Protein backbone atom coordinates (compact mmCIF):
# COMPACT_ATOMS: atom_id res chain seq x y z
CA UNK A 1 0.00 0.00 0.00
CA UNK A 2 0.92 3.62 -0.30
CA UNK A 3 1.30 5.72 2.86
CA UNK A 4 -1.16 8.52 3.55
CA UNK A 5 0.07 11.98 2.52
CA UNK A 6 2.28 13.88 4.97
CA UNK A 7 4.37 17.02 5.15
CA UNK A 8 8.07 16.27 4.91
CA UNK A 9 10.91 18.03 6.70
CA UNK A 10 14.55 17.19 6.08
CA UNK A 11 16.65 19.17 8.58
CA UNK A 12 20.44 19.12 8.55
CA UNK A 13 21.18 19.95 12.21
CA UNK A 14 19.78 18.85 15.57
CA UNK A 15 18.46 22.38 16.21
CA UNK A 16 16.66 22.46 12.89
CA UNK A 17 15.24 19.03 13.63
CA UNK A 18 13.88 20.14 17.01
CA UNK A 19 12.31 23.20 15.35
CA UNK A 20 10.77 21.02 12.65
CA UNK A 21 9.29 18.69 15.27
CA UNK A 22 7.95 21.64 17.27
CA UNK A 23 6.28 23.22 14.25
CA UNK A 24 5.06 20.01 12.64
CA UNK A 25 1.56 20.05 14.09
CA UNK A 26 -0.30 17.56 16.24
CA UNK A 27 1.03 14.28 14.92
CA UNK A 28 4.74 14.33 14.10
CA UNK A 29 6.82 11.24 13.47
CA UNK A 30 10.59 11.23 13.51
CA UNK A 31 12.09 9.16 10.70
CA UNK A 32 15.45 7.58 11.50
CA UNK A 33 16.28 4.60 9.28
CA UNK A 34 12.59 4.07 8.55
CA UNK A 35 12.77 0.30 8.63
CA UNK A 36 9.99 0.06 11.24
CA UNK A 37 8.20 3.35 10.55
CA UNK A 38 7.79 3.05 6.77
CA UNK A 39 6.23 -0.44 7.01
CA UNK A 40 3.60 0.77 9.50
CA UNK A 41 2.97 3.88 7.40
CA UNK A 42 2.51 1.67 4.35
CA UNK A 43 -0.12 -0.28 6.27
CA UNK A 44 -1.58 3.06 7.43
CA UNK A 45 -1.26 1.96 11.03
CA UNK A 46 0.56 5.28 11.28
CA UNK A 47 -0.51 8.30 9.24
CA UNK A 48 1.44 11.24 10.69
CA UNK A 49 0.75 14.81 9.68
CA UNK A 50 4.47 15.53 9.46
CA UNK A 51 7.53 13.35 9.05
CA UNK A 52 10.86 14.78 10.20
CA UNK A 53 13.61 12.85 8.44
CA UNK A 54 16.93 12.78 10.31
CA UNK A 55 18.88 11.20 7.44
CA UNK A 56 20.81 14.42 6.67
CA UNK A 57 21.68 15.34 10.26
CA UNK A 58 25.38 14.49 10.03
CA UNK A 59 26.08 15.28 13.71
CA UNK A 60 23.87 12.34 14.71
CA UNK A 61 26.11 9.81 12.98
CA UNK A 62 29.28 8.11 14.07
CA UNK A 63 31.00 6.70 17.14
CA UNK A 64 33.55 8.51 19.29
CA UNK A 65 35.40 8.09 22.57
CA UNK A 66 34.60 10.41 25.45
CA UNK A 67 36.36 9.70 28.74
CA UNK A 68 35.38 6.30 30.04
CA UNK A 69 32.54 5.90 27.53
CA UNK A 70 32.02 5.44 23.85
CA UNK A 71 29.34 7.65 22.36
CA UNK A 72 27.20 6.30 19.54
CA UNK A 73 25.25 8.81 17.46
CA UNK A 74 21.56 7.92 17.27
CA UNK A 75 21.61 7.84 13.45
CA UNK A 76 24.58 5.50 13.19
CA UNK A 77 23.36 2.68 10.98
CA UNK A 78 23.52 -0.96 12.01
CA UNK A 79 26.04 -1.52 9.21
CA UNK A 80 28.26 1.25 10.57
CA UNK A 81 27.97 -0.21 14.08
CA UNK A 82 29.17 -3.57 12.72
CA UNK A 83 32.23 -1.96 11.12
CA UNK A 84 33.17 0.28 14.04
CA UNK A 85 36.49 -0.46 15.81
CA UNK A 86 35.52 1.27 19.10
CA UNK A 87 32.39 -0.85 19.44
CA UNK A 88 34.36 -3.98 18.54
CA UNK A 89 36.86 -3.19 21.28
CA UNK A 90 34.75 -1.81 24.13
CA UNK A 91 31.22 -3.09 23.55
CA UNK A 92 31.35 -6.12 21.25
CA UNK A 93 27.97 -7.22 22.62
CA UNK A 94 26.39 -4.42 20.59
CA UNK A 95 27.98 -5.66 17.37
CA UNK A 96 27.08 -9.25 18.11
CA UNK A 97 23.42 -8.39 18.66
CA UNK A 98 23.34 -5.99 15.71
CA UNK A 99 24.51 -8.73 13.42
CA UNK A 100 21.30 -10.62 14.20
CA UNK A 101 19.01 -7.67 13.42
CA UNK A 102 16.84 -8.30 10.34
CA UNK A 103 18.91 -8.62 7.14
CA UNK A 104 21.73 -6.76 5.42
CA UNK A 105 19.43 -4.43 3.44
CA UNK A 106 17.61 -3.39 6.62
CA UNK A 107 20.92 -3.03 8.50
CA UNK A 108 22.14 -0.60 5.82
CA UNK A 109 19.23 1.75 6.59
CA UNK A 110 18.19 0.96 10.16
CA UNK A 111 19.85 2.89 12.97
CA UNK A 112 21.02 2.19 16.51
CA UNK A 113 19.07 5.10 17.99
CA UNK A 114 15.98 4.42 15.92
CA UNK A 115 15.80 0.84 17.16
CA UNK A 116 16.16 1.99 20.78
CA UNK A 117 13.59 4.78 20.50
CA UNK A 118 11.15 2.40 18.80
CA UNK A 119 11.53 0.12 21.85
CA UNK A 120 10.05 -3.01 20.34
CA UNK A 121 10.16 -5.68 23.08
CA UNK A 122 11.38 -8.20 20.48
CA UNK A 123 14.08 -5.82 19.24
CA UNK A 124 17.62 -6.89 20.03
CA UNK A 125 19.28 -3.65 21.05
CA UNK A 126 17.24 -2.49 24.07
CA UNK A 127 18.29 -5.46 26.23
CA UNK A 128 21.90 -4.92 25.16
CA UNK A 129 21.75 -1.23 26.13
CA UNK A 130 20.28 -2.25 29.48
CA UNK A 131 22.91 -4.93 30.12
CA UNK A 132 25.72 -2.49 29.31
CA UNK A 133 24.31 0.32 31.48
CA UNK A 134 24.03 2.70 28.55
CA UNK A 135 22.89 6.29 29.00
CA UNK A 136 20.55 8.01 26.58
CA UNK A 137 21.15 11.66 25.73
CA UNK A 138 17.88 13.33 24.83
CA UNK A 139 17.61 16.80 23.27
CA UNK A 140 14.65 19.15 23.49
CA UNK A 141 14.11 22.82 22.79
CA UNK A 142 14.82 23.50 26.48
CA UNK A 143 18.16 21.67 26.48
CA UNK A 144 19.49 18.19 27.02
CA UNK A 145 18.96 15.52 29.63
CA UNK A 146 20.57 12.14 30.20
CA UNK A 147 18.49 9.09 31.04
CA UNK A 148 19.80 5.76 32.33
CA UNK A 149 18.86 2.70 30.29
CA UNK A 150 17.01 1.34 33.33
CA UNK A 151 14.69 4.39 33.17
CA UNK A 152 14.46 4.82 29.39
CA UNK A 153 12.10 1.96 28.52
CA UNK A 154 8.66 2.55 30.01
CA UNK A 155 6.25 0.13 28.36
CA UNK A 156 5.45 -1.63 25.09
CA UNK A 157 6.85 0.60 22.29
CA UNK A 158 7.07 3.41 24.85
CA UNK A 159 10.08 5.28 26.19
CA UNK A 160 10.56 8.36 28.36
CA UNK A 161 10.93 10.45 25.18
CA UNK A 162 8.39 13.26 25.35
CA UNK A 163 6.77 14.96 22.40
CA UNK A 164 9.26 17.35 20.89
CA UNK A 165 12.26 15.43 22.18
CA UNK A 166 14.90 13.68 20.16
CA UNK A 167 17.28 10.87 21.11
CA UNK A 168 20.65 12.22 19.95
CA UNK A 169 23.29 9.84 21.28
CA UNK A 170 23.88 6.85 23.48
CA UNK A 171 26.80 6.68 25.90
CA UNK A 172 28.10 3.19 26.60
CA UNK A 173 30.67 2.60 29.35
CA UNK A 174 33.91 1.15 28.00
CA UNK A 175 34.19 -2.42 29.19
CA UNK A 176 37.59 -3.63 28.11
CA UNK A 177 38.37 -7.18 29.07
CA UNK A 178 34.76 -8.18 29.70
CA UNK A 179 33.43 -11.31 28.07
CA UNK A 180 30.18 -10.78 26.19
CA UNK A 181 27.70 -12.84 24.26
CA UNK A 182 24.27 -12.40 22.67
CA UNK A 183 22.21 -15.56 22.41
CA UNK A 184 19.11 -15.25 20.25
CA UNK A 185 16.37 -17.76 19.62
CA UNK A 186 14.29 -17.42 16.51
CA UNK A 187 12.75 -19.79 14.02
CA UNK A 188 13.44 -18.36 10.59
CA UNK A 189 15.77 -15.96 8.81
CA UNK A 190 15.46 -12.19 9.40
CA UNK A 191 13.00 -12.77 12.24
CA UNK A 192 12.47 -10.97 15.52
CA UNK A 193 13.70 -12.61 18.71
CA UNK A 194 11.28 -15.02 20.32
CA UNK A 195 13.56 -14.64 23.33
CA UNK A 196 17.18 -13.50 23.46
CA UNK A 197 19.75 -12.95 26.19
CA UNK A 198 22.56 -10.40 26.33
CA UNK A 199 25.32 -11.30 28.80
CA UNK A 200 28.41 -9.38 29.90
CA UNK A 201 30.78 -10.94 32.41
CA UNK A 202 33.93 -9.66 34.11
CA UNK A 203 36.17 -12.46 35.26
CA UNK A 204 38.79 -12.35 38.00
CA UNK A 205 40.81 -15.50 37.57
CA UNK A 206 38.35 -18.38 37.58
CA UNK A 207 35.63 -16.39 39.39
CA UNK A 208 32.89 -14.19 37.98
CA UNK A 209 33.43 -10.76 39.53
CA UNK A 210 30.46 -9.09 37.83
CA UNK A 211 27.67 -10.32 35.58
CA UNK A 212 25.13 -8.21 33.71
CA UNK A 213 22.32 -9.93 31.87
CA UNK A 214 19.63 -8.34 29.68
CA UNK A 215 16.54 -10.20 28.49
CA UNK A 216 14.85 -9.54 25.13
CA UNK A 217 11.09 -10.15 24.75
CA UNK A 218 10.46 -11.36 28.30
CA UNK A 219 8.01 -8.52 28.97
CA UNK A 220 6.84 -5.23 27.45
CA UNK A 221 10.27 -3.72 28.15
CA UNK A 222 13.77 -5.20 28.25
CA UNK A 223 14.60 -6.66 31.68
CA UNK A 224 17.64 -7.56 33.74
CA UNK A 225 17.94 -11.11 35.05
CA UNK A 226 18.77 -9.76 38.52
CA UNK A 227 18.50 -13.01 40.48
CA UNK A 228 20.83 -14.76 38.06
CA UNK A 229 23.28 -11.85 38.22
CA UNK A 230 23.29 -12.02 42.03
CA UNK A 231 23.84 -15.78 42.01
CA UNK A 232 26.80 -15.41 39.66
CA UNK A 233 28.56 -12.53 41.39
CA UNK A 234 31.68 -13.81 43.10
CA UNK A 235 30.97 -17.40 42.09
CA UNK A 236 33.37 -19.87 40.57
CA UNK A 237 32.68 -20.03 36.82
CA UNK A 238 31.78 -23.67 36.37
CA UNK A 239 29.15 -25.24 34.16
CA UNK A 240 27.18 -26.32 37.26
CA UNK A 241 27.21 -22.89 38.90
CA UNK A 242 26.14 -21.16 35.69
CA UNK A 243 23.39 -23.71 35.04
CA UNK A 244 22.05 -23.29 38.59
CA UNK A 245 22.13 -19.49 38.37
CA UNK A 246 20.40 -19.54 34.98
CA UNK A 247 17.42 -21.32 36.57
CA UNK A 248 16.50 -17.93 38.05
CA UNK A 249 16.60 -16.06 34.71
CA UNK A 250 12.84 -15.88 34.22
CA UNK A 251 12.03 -14.64 37.73
CA UNK A 252 10.01 -11.42 37.75
CA UNK A 253 9.41 -11.50 34.01
CA UNK A 254 6.04 -11.27 32.24
CA UNK A 255 6.45 -12.51 28.68
CA UNK A 256 3.51 -12.51 26.32
CA UNK A 257 1.92 -15.51 24.68
CA UNK A 258 1.63 -15.17 20.92
CA UNK A 259 1.88 -17.15 17.70
CA UNK A 260 5.57 -17.78 18.25
CA UNK A 261 5.49 -19.06 21.81
CA UNK A 262 3.46 -19.38 24.97
CA UNK A 263 4.66 -17.56 28.08
CA UNK A 264 5.77 -20.77 29.81
CA UNK A 265 7.90 -21.70 26.82
CA UNK A 266 9.48 -18.25 26.94
CA UNK A 267 10.29 -18.83 30.62
CA UNK A 268 12.04 -22.04 29.61
CA UNK A 269 13.90 -20.31 26.77
CA UNK A 270 15.13 -17.55 29.08
CA UNK A 271 16.76 -20.10 31.35
CA UNK A 272 18.37 -22.10 28.55
CA UNK A 273 19.57 -19.06 26.63
CA UNK A 274 20.92 -17.41 29.79
CA UNK A 275 22.97 -20.50 30.55
CA UNK A 276 24.38 -20.49 27.02
CA UNK A 277 25.02 -16.75 26.95
CA UNK A 278 26.79 -16.63 30.31
CA UNK A 279 28.80 -19.76 29.50
CA UNK A 280 30.05 -18.18 26.27
CA UNK A 281 30.66 -14.78 27.91
CA UNK A 282 32.69 -16.41 30.70
CA UNK A 283 34.82 -18.14 28.07
CA UNK A 284 33.95 -21.69 29.17
Partner 1 sequence: MTQISVRVDGTPYDDDVEPRTLLVHYLREQLGKVGTVVGCDTSNCGACTVHLDGEAVKSCTVFAVQADGCEVTTIEGISPNGTLHPMQKAFHEMHGLQCGFCTPGMIMASIDLVNDNPDPSEDEVREGIEGNLCRCTGYQNIVRAVQQAAGEMHGRSTAGDTLGAQS
**Interacting residue ranges for partner 1, rule: CB under 8 A:** 1-8, 10, 34-35, 38-39, 41-42, 51, 53, 55, 79, 102-106, 108-109, 189-190
Q: Which is nearer to partner 1, 100 or 253 (CB)?
A: 100
- Phi/psi at 154 (5° precision): -105, -45
Q: Which is nearer to partner 1, 99 or 251 (CB)?
A: 99
Least distance to partner 1, CB of residue 55, Å: 6
Least distance to partner 1, CB of residue 261, Å: 20
Least distance to partner 1, CB of residue 42, Å: 7
Instruction: Characterize 109-146 residue by residue with b for buried, 16 or more Cβ atoms within 10 angstroms of its Cβ, and e for exposed.
Output: bbbbbbbbbbbbbbbbbbbbbbbbbbbbbbbbeeeeee
* Element at 199 (helix H, strand E): strand 195-204
> In this structure, are residues 279 and 239 in contact, taking their beta carbons and an 8 Å threshold?
yes
Q: Which is nearer to partner 1, 44 or 144 (CB)?
A: 44
Strands (E), 38-134: 50-53, 63-66, 69-73
Q: Which is nearer to partner 1, 106 or 209 (CB)?
A: 106
Least distance to partner 1, CB of residue 274, Å: 25
Least distance to partner 1, CB of residue 8, Å: 3
> In this structure, are residues 236 and 207 in contact, taking their beta carbons and an 8 Å threshold?
yes
Q: Which is nearer to partner 1, 107 or 266 (CB)?
A: 107
Least distance to partner 1, CB of residue 110, Å: 9
Contacts for 94-98 with beta carbons within 8 Å, 24 or more apart? Answer: 94/125, 94/128, 94/132, 94/172, 96/180, 96/181, 96/182, 97/124, 97/125, 97/127, 97/128, 97/182, 97/184, 97/196, 97/198, 98/124, 98/125
Q: Which is nearer to partner 1, 78 or 175 (CB)?
A: 78
Amino acid sequence: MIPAPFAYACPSTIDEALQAVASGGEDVKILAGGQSLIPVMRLRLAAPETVVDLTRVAELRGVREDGDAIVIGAMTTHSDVLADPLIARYAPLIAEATETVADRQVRHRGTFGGALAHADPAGDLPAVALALDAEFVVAGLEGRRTVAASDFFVDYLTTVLQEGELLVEIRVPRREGWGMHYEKFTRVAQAWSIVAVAAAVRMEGSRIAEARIGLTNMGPTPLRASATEAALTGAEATAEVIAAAAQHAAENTSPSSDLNAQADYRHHLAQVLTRRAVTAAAGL
